[in-house]
Amino acid sequence: MNQSQHVSSQFDEDLGRLRTHVLQMGGLVETQISAAIDAYTTGEVASVKTIVETDRKVNELEKAIDDDCAHIIAQRQPAASDLRLVLGISKIVTDLERAGDEAKKIAKGVRRIYEAGHLPSQYGVGIRHLAEATLTMVRQALDAFARLDGTQAVSVIRADADVDVEFKSIIRQLITHMMEDPRTITTSIEIISISRAIERIGDHAKNISEQVIFVAEGRDIRHNKEAIK
Amino acid sequence: MQTHDSPQLKAEARDFNFFYGQAQALKKINMPIYDKKVTALIGPSGCGKSTYLRSFNRMHDLYPGNRYEGEIRFYPDNTNLLSPEVDPIEVRMRVGMVFQKPNPFPKTIYENVAYGLRVRGENNKRVLDEKVENALRGAAIWEEVKDRLQDLAPNLSGGQQQRLCIARALATDPELLLFDEPTSALDPIATGAIEELVHELKKRVTILIVTHNMQQAARVSDYTAYMYLGEMVEFGKTDEIFIKPKDKRTEDYITGRMG
């Protein structure tokens, strides 16, 4: 990534602010995800409200960042690494916002399970582990973005494959549960959608990492498994 | 530099050096010019891009002390444009030029376009009429001037004058057109008209264009060369240069990171 400064210091400031806002937004989404995981294990249903409120801030940031991207394109006509940064950011914020939405889904699912008088942690052993793995992915993806570190981005993409395997095994487990005891079906379905949401967060972290590689190295590795081997 | 999927060559600079007296302005330029494509030359002021452009029609011959080294091969006949045996007047018949500021002759619109043909000895009125019309149509200005061909050219607007100069260059059916910042004196609408024209023209002629406007290079060209301090730093497909340049100096220039 190009570290030297633009002739226009205003342009440097604009890009710097854009990056800071993305990291701010990422920080908020991280707290949403980790609060959702906590709610799942502890039954702290009150935090659901906070997660929903944070989501509003995340949505606002997404719109503000997109707006800033449009302004920079209109005013500066960025090229090369600047162009890739602006394009990448505009996609990264979409994935961040959707990851936040998934955290909200998890929180709401957890609340429904507790309100029905069940304990989610009795089901789906390994969900917490899965959730923590995806949270780490999101953190590392944001970290890779902050440093424009393509190598770290690649390791996040690799981690997504493990998350997918784990997700499938949780689903198999839940199906067995439901067959053994049909009374668990309602809660199990709820937990399936929670695990699905967790798995989706991993996918968003992967997408973010793909954009980081595009920004840092100019390679578009989407839909190309060979590219990261 | 030519690979299997590259288009045909129209010209090619080979180890081309140029000197203004003792001062070396161009250093060992190697670069292909592909047939019926637009190639943009970009770089900061004084990098040698205009010097390079002007070498293609031997304009430097006009001043004593200027010296060429190396070759600019011109295809399909594979002549070296710079060879002393090659007549610069012949070169200029095949290589047309359009300058930064429109420079119509103080003559009528018709005579501006017919001039090059008359110099060539063409005096048949019917042939001249036809060629003048074709050139004016080719430069997308026919509809605006067809009823006033006998008006003086300097009375046209700046954008029209520039298109007239393009028509004048087209009249002799050149194979290569050189544009030296053709829109820097024009407003955005007239600029748009010239860019549109460049797009049309490349169906029949190869174009080499010097521009300071990076977006213009990105819009109109198929290939871009970045020059700096008399050297050709990077040549490549325009898309690649503007999204992922290989050389840090190119990157710095097109992203505005240089003073």
Contact B255 A84 (CB under 8 A): no
pLDDT at site A209 = 97
B43: left (phi over 0), alpha (psi -120 to 50) or beta: left
Tell me whether residue B209 is in a domain: yes
Residue A228 touches chain B, beta carbons under 8 Å: no
A91 by Cβ neighbours in 10 Å (0-12 / 13-18 / 19+) ranks as: middle
A42 by Cβ neighbours in 10 Å (0-12 / 13-18 / 19+) ranks as: exposed
Query: Do residues A77 and B214 touch, judged by C-beta distance below 8 A?
Result: yes
Residue B255 touches chain A, beta carbons under 8 Å: yes
Contact B218 A5 (CB under 8 A): no
Residue A6 touches chain B, beta carbons under 8 Å: yes
Cα separations (Å) of B194 from A155, B10, B165, B166, B209?
Answer: 49, 22, 11, 9, 12
The architecture in CATH of the region A3-228 reads Up-down Bundle (1.20)
Contact B215 A77 (CB under 8 A): yes
CA distance B165 to B64: 27
Residue B239 touches chain A, beta carbons under 8 Å: no
pLDDT grade, residue A2 (50/70/90)?
Answer: low
CA distance A8 to chain B (A): 8
- Which residues in chain B touch residue A84, judged by CB atoms under 8 angstroms apart? 243-244
Tell me whether residue B1 is in a domain: no
- Which residues in chain A touch residue B252, judged by CB atoms under 8 angstroms apart? 2, 4
Residue B233 touches chain A, beta carbons under 8 Å: no
Tell me whether residue B2 is in a domain: no
Series of mean pLDDT values for 10-residue runs along chain B (259 residues): 71 96 95 97 94 94 91 94 92 92 95 93 93 93 95 94 94 94 88 91 95 93 96 96 94 84
Give the tens place of pLDDT for each residue, B50-107: 999 999 999 998 888 999 999 999 999 999 999 999 999 889 989 999 999 999 999 9
pLDDT grade, residue A124 (50/70/90)?
Answer: low
Give the tens place of pLDDT for each residue, A165-207: 999 999 999 999 899 999 889 999 999 999 999 999 999 999 9
Contact B256 A81 (CB under 8 A): no
- Count how many domains chain B has: 1
Tell me whether residue B249 is in a domain: yes
Give the tens place of pLDDT for each residue, A12-63: 999 999 999 999 999 999 999 999 999 998 888 888 899 999 999 999 999 9
Tell me whether residue B35 is in a domain: yes
What stretches of chain A show up as alpha helix (H) in DSSP?
Answer: 9-42, 47-76, 80-115, 127-147, 150-180, 185-217
**A78-105 average pLDDT score:** 96
CA distance B100 to B105: 15
Tell me whether residue B229 is in a domain: yes
Contact B256 A6 (CB under 8 A): yes
Contact B257 A80 (CB under 8 A): no
Residue B42 touches chain A, beta carbons under 8 Å: no
- Which of A10, A73, A76, A83 is most worth mutating to test chain B (most B CB atoms within 10 A of its CB)? A83
Query: Do residues B54 and B60 touch, judged by C-beta distance below 8 A?
Result: yes
Give the tens place of pLDDT for each residue, A204-220: 999 999 999 999 999 99
Instruction: Check which CATH number belongs to the domain holding B134 and give it.
Output: 3.40.50.300
- Which of B214, B215, B244, B252 is most worth mutating to test chain A (most A CB atoms within 10 A of its CB)? B244
Backbone phi and psi for residue B89, each to the nearest 5 degrees, phi listed first: -65, -40
Residue A9 touches chain B, beta carbons under 8 Å: no
Residue B97 touches chain A, beta carbons under 8 Å: no
Interface A-B, measured as beta-carbon pairs within 8 A, has a size of 44
Backbone phi and psi for residue A196, each to the nearest 5 degrees, phi listed first: -60, -45
Instruction: List the domain range (segments joined by +) for residue B125.
Output: 9-254
pLDDT at site A82 = 95
CA distance B235 to B123: 43
- Which of B219, B255, B258 is most worth mutating to test chain A (most A CB atoms within 10 A of its CB)? B255
Tell me whether residue B78 is in a domain: yes
- Per-residue tokens: A181: 């005891």
Angle (CA) A19-A91-A194 rounded to 5° is: 105
Backbone phi and psi for residue A203, each to the nearest 5 degrees, phi listed first: -60, -40
SS3 B200: helix
Contact A83 B242 (CB under 8 A): yes
- Nearest residue on chain A to B249, judged by CA atoms? A2
- pTM comes to 0.84
**Which residue ranges make up each domain of chain A?**
3-228
CA distance A132 to chain B (A): 36
- Nearest residue on chain A to B258, judged by CA atoms? A7
pLDDT grade, residue A3 (50/70/90)?
Answer: low
Contact A77 B243 (CB under 8 A): no
B75 by Cβ neighbours in 10 Å (0-12 / 13-18 / 19+) ranks as: middle
- Which residues in chain B touch residue A79, judged by CB atoms under 8 angstroms apart? 214, 218, 242-243, 254-255
Contact A79 B254 (CB under 8 A): yes
Residues 187-226 of B with CB under 8 A from A: 214-215, 218
Provide the percentage of residues in chain A whose pLDDT is more than 90.
79
- Which residues in chain A touch residue B218, judged by CB atoms under 8 angstroms apart? 79
